[in-house]
Chains A and B, each alone.
Chain A
Amino acid sequence: MRTLKIFGWLSHFLWASMLLLTIFFGILVYSEFTSSYSETWFIEFMGKEIHKDSQKTYLLTFMVLCLGIYVLYFYAITLFNLCVRKFEKRIFFDLSIIKRFKKIGIIFITNYIAILILGKIFSIHSAKDITNSTDFSSSVLEKLDSPLGSLIIGFFFLVLSQVFKEALKQKQENELTI
């Protein structure tokens, strides 16, 4: 079970680093609420250019939604970490693991859809002269998205939840037969 140990360490490390990054992003978004707004931004919402007066609201909404997606990822990794802890205790087919896998699957699929929609409706540039380097919204969403990966991983976790349910049923049958 050496693989499980290495996997456990990596999973704990991922959780800890994500916790630090979540705090860091939280502070960053909070500072945007308190700081004065720079008027150099170019913001489009559903293809329409946003007027200067309401630009800050749109920018903050976008940032809060992105933070929400990241927090959801963090929650999914927390659930996954709890499953890994159970695995380390040699508990594989447990009702809590089945429920957690289902939740992780739903989170990954939801985030995939959310990122897809955010990318379509928001276009935020840090400067009026639009270039690739000023594309703030795409670069943020790119960091949150793993191309197709999150959708596949999401469905895979949902499938795993069903498979583990089947295994638990078999285990219970086994115990009843004894």
Chain B
Amino acid sequence: MRTIRILDLIITILFYSMLGIGTIFFVIYTFFLFGIDLGIKTTTTFSSKNDDLLYLILFFNFIFYSTYTYSIFLFKQNITSFLNFNFFTDRVIINFKTMGIIYILGNIINSLIIPFFKQHIKIDFGFDNNLLNFPLNGLIIGLFFLVMSKVFQIAKNQKKENIELKQENELTI
């Protein structure tokens, strides 16, 4: 149980810090888009002809970050469920599946689509602002969560069978 508690603590810290950082970045980007100067040193290399592209990329960035934070929230939900000894529930299975899909899509976007646009846009706030570089982001991790969802589904069915068999047994006795 101690392991689950430590993981719960790490995930909780990660989730709230991501939420905080995401909110700060969202506010900074919004001000930046409306041309309000916050006194932050920025260097932007972007042609004014492609303004729509800039908005599109920032919008995708925001969506991607939000879905990733949501996946960490789902992970946190699963860990809380484990803490309450609810291992094989529908909620846990769906959460693992959603997380897997988010990580696979994230990996595809990160490795295929973003590098193409990166040549056109560069907004530098003076520190590492690679919002798409996440700790759990990866194709293998994504597929692993999908497999976990299947494994938990099987375990849930076994548990259900177990309960049914016990009830039958008790009735026979």
Where the two chains meet, the residues of A that have a C-beta atom closer than 8 Å to any C-beta of B are: 1, 3-4, 6-7, 10-11, 14, 87, 92-93, 105, 146-149, 151-153, 155-156, 158-160, 162-163, 166-167, 170-171, 173-174, 177-178
Cα distance, A159 to B79, chains bound together (Å)? 9
Where the two chains meet, the residues of B that have a C-beta atom closer than 8 Å to any C-beta of A are: 3-4, 6-7, 10-11, 14, 79, 82, 87-88, 135-136, 139-141, 143-144, 146-148, 150-151, 154-155, 158-159, 161-162, 165-166, 169
CB within 8 Å for A92 and B151 given contacts A159-B7, A171-B158, A177-B166: yes
Closest Cβ of chain A to B116, distance in Å, is: 24
Which chain B positions have C-beta within 8 A of A170? 155, 158-159, 162
Cβ-neighbour of A3 out of B10, B88, B135, B146 (below 8 A)? B146
A152, B136: Cβ atoms closer than 8 Å: yes
Cα distance, A11 to B7, chains bound together (Å)? 24
CB within 8 Å for A4 and B150 given contacts A14-B140, A149-B135: yes
How many residue pairs at the A-B interface have CB separations less than 8 Å? 78
Q: In terms of DSSP, what is the predominant structure of the interface of chain A?
A: helix
Cα distance, A147 to B37, chains bound together (Å)? 32
A155, B135: Cβ atoms closer than 8 Å: no
Cα distance, A92 to B165, chains bound together (Å)? 21
Sample of 19 more A-B contacts, CB < 8 Å, known A167-B88, A178-B165: A3-B146, A7-B144, A7-B147, A10-B139, A87-B147, A105-B3, A146-B135, A152-B10, A152-B11, A155-B3, A158-B7, A163-B87, A167-B155, A170-B158, A174-B161, A174-B165, A177-B162, A177-B166, A177-B169
